[in-house]
Amino acid sequence: GIISLISLAVLSYERCCTMTRTAEADTTNYRKTWTGIVLSWTYSLLWTLPPLFGWSSYGPEGPGITCSVNWHSKDANNTSYIICLFIFCLVIPFAIIVYSYGKLLCAVRQVSSTHRGPGRGREQRVLVMVVVMVLCFLLCWLPYAAVALLATFGEPGLITPAASIVPAILAKSSTVYNPIIYVFLNKQVSEML
């Protein structure tokens, strides 16, 4: 889950940098791509290792068919990890996504305001793609975050195992949606199909 969130943030930032760059991108240099991949996995690993060393713990999630952070423990050790996890693995990646897509949208608007005609259609497509990507991100991760926070800070037993299944499935399926959205809403890609 964390690698999915971080990857979406890195992809949005990279897409913003690529689209707002004035020089043509060098498609033969993969160093930046590999750097993004390595940093994403390293950051995610740094946030998934602490429960193995005593800062919180892992345990069965929902009906016991998956493993996740122990959302139900109420001790300070567990609560502090969950708060940090939400800040550094949900709030910050979401802020990066919103910032990157917002900057990209502003750049497209600026270009289309100086070039009348087909630029307006491109601006609309980029706007739709940005809105759909952000909404899918929220649709996938906010229910899971809400259930996890309720399990952590709410009354014991407030979230039943059955109630936690759908948010967990939505969160875990989030890696599928971004490429689909990009393929169907990116005119260059859809013309090739």
Confidence check: pLDDT of 190 > 50: no
pLDDT at position 46 is: 95
Q: Which CATH superfamily is domain 1-191 in?
A: Rhodopsin 7-helix transmembrane proteins (1.20.1070.10)
Confidence band for 189, pLDDT divided at 50, 70 and 90: very low
Residue from 67, 88, 89, 70 nearest 79 by CA: 70
Whole-Å CA distances, 58 to 5, 35, 70, 89, 104: 19, 29, 5, 17, 38
From the CA atom positions of the chain, what is the Rg in Å? 19
Q: What is the pLDDT of residues 27-86, one digit of tens each?
A: 666 888 888 899 999 999 999 999 999 999 888 776 677 778 887 778 899 889 989 999
- Map residue 16 onto helix, strand or coil: helix
Confidence band for 187, pLDDT divided at 50, 70 and 90: low
Confidence check: pLDDT of 193 > 50: no
CA 37 to chain centre: 14
Higher pLDDT pick, 13 / 60: 13
Measured distance CA(110)–CA(90) in Å, rounded: 30
Q: What is the mean pLDDT of residues 9-35?
A: 75
> Which position has the token pair 């897409």?
15
Confidence check: pLDDT of 185 > 90: no
Q: Look over the chain and give the mean of its residue pLDDT values, rounded to a whole number.
A: 79
Least confident of 47-61, 73-87, 103-117, 157-171: 103-117
User: Which two tokens mark 132?
Assistant: 């759909």
DSSP state of 25: P
Q: What is the mean pLDDT of residues 146-153?
A: 84
Phi/psi for 67 (5° steps) reads: -115, 140
